[in-house]
Amino acid sequence: MNIGERIKELRTEKKLTQGELAAKVGLTYIQVGRYETQKSAPSSDVLQKLAQALDTTTDFLMMGSQDEVVAAQLTDKELLRLFKQVEQLSPEDKHLVKTFIDAFLTKRQIQELAK
């Protein structure tokens, strides 16, 4: 996948039109289309703005590192480290961890409603 395809994929995941993304970044929809079709490459300044508007990193846009997009969205590095370790567990253990997290979050939501 190239940079244009990654921009388009993230834009569509966020349900943004080319025009909406362009407005967030200070471009025209035509220029966003050029980036997506690889007819033009964004400058480093524009790349930074695109990454910010798409809630990702410039590394992900340029190189496609999945870890980078996760790290950009997850600011607690300790949680990121733990989730990486959980990925190495057996399917049964992963299910158990997910069940614990779900139970904890449900409990918190109930506590918030009770206030």
Domain residues for 60? 3-68
| 11, 56: one domain | yes
Q: Is the pLDDT of residue 103 over 90?
A: yes
| 54, 15: one domain | yes
For the chain, give the percent of residues with pLDDT over 90: 61
| 50, 102: one domain | no
pLDDT at 1: 78
Q: Are 61 and 6 in contact (CB under 8 A)?
A: yes
Least reliable range by pLDDT among 11-15, 25-29, 48-52, 77-81: 77-81
The DSSP output letter for 56 is: S
Q: Is the pLDDT of residue 64 over 80?
A: no
Least reliable range by pLDDT among 37-41, 66-70, 92-96: 66-70
**Cα dist. 44→33, 61, 71, 78, 113 in Å?**
17, 11, 20, 30, 46
Structural domain count of the chain: 2
| 36, 55: one domain | yes
